Amino acid sequence: MKLFKTKLDAATIVLIPACIGINYLGKLFASFLKLPLWLDSIGTCIGGCLGGPVIGAVCGAANNLIYGFTAGDNITLIYALTSLGIGLAAGIMARLGFMKTFPKALITACVAGFVAVLISTPLNVVFWGGTTGNVWGDAVFAATQAANMPVWLGSFLDEVVVDVPDKLITLLVVFFILKGLPKKLTALYEVNAEIESLD
């Protein structure tokens, strides 16, 4: 099985806007329920798990670019790289079979979380001087700065505190949703599917 093999037919093209919509809904619900997390990468992870790493990466990057250029939320533009990484990580892990059982899904969540942290930390340091805009994370950052720790370490911890729990919950939601999808839908995205004829 090829890791990066991607089908680019109408089904996958339609999947991408749906996933971007799901990202938006996740963020909306998180603010509606006043949860202290972002939860804005559910769609990206679904895209990665169904369509593969390439579709996941496209979902993630397109998500941030579209909102940045049209909905006025241009801070997200900078984080297009992070989203791309999350989608790629989720897609690769799913192709390797790490979305099949619950404990394996937890490992995927940790991998996606750390990819997000690794990409976001330099961006945070460059653009925001290290803060993330999340209350809990910034409290950690302020504490590390008061203790005279280097900026990048503070920013790294800031991200870990926010991103890893965020991705854990995201991937759990994704896991339960994928389990509940009908076979006739998931069959559309099987890369190794073969068409058999009766005669």
Nearer to other proteins by Cβ, of 3 and 187: the residue is 187
In angstroms, give the least distance from the CB of 175 to other proteins. 11
In angstroms, give the least distance from the CB of 115 to other proteins. 22
In angstroms, give the least distance from the CB of 107 to other proteins. 21
Nearer to other proteins by Cβ, of 102 and 127: the residue is 127
Site residues for other proteins, 118-177, by CB under 8 A, read: 127-131, 133, 138, 141-142, 145-146, 148, 150-151, 173, 176-177
What angle do the packed helices 10-32 and 42-51 form, to 10 degrees?
A: 160
Q: Which among 45, 10, 25, 20 is positioned nearest to 177, based on CA atoms?
A: 45
State which H helix or E strand residue 72 sits in: none
Residues 116, 118, 119, 124: is their CA dihedral positive or negative?
positive
Residue 42 CA to residue 22 CA, distance in Å, equals 7
Q: Fill in the amino acid letter for 120.
A: S
Site residues for other proteins, 71-110, by CB under 8 A, read: 71-75, 77
Neighbouring C-alpha atoms within 13 Å toward the C-beta of 45 = 31
Residue ranges of alpha helices (H) inside 36-74 are: 42-51, 53-70
Nearer to other proteins by Cβ, of 5 and 199: the residue is 5
- By the criterion CB under 8 A, which residues form the site for other proteins? 8-11, 13-18, 20-22, 24-26, 28-30, 32-36, 39, 42-43, 46, 62, 66, 68-75, 77, 127-131, 133, 138, 141-142, 145-146, 148, 150-151, 173, 176-177, 180-182, 184-185, 188
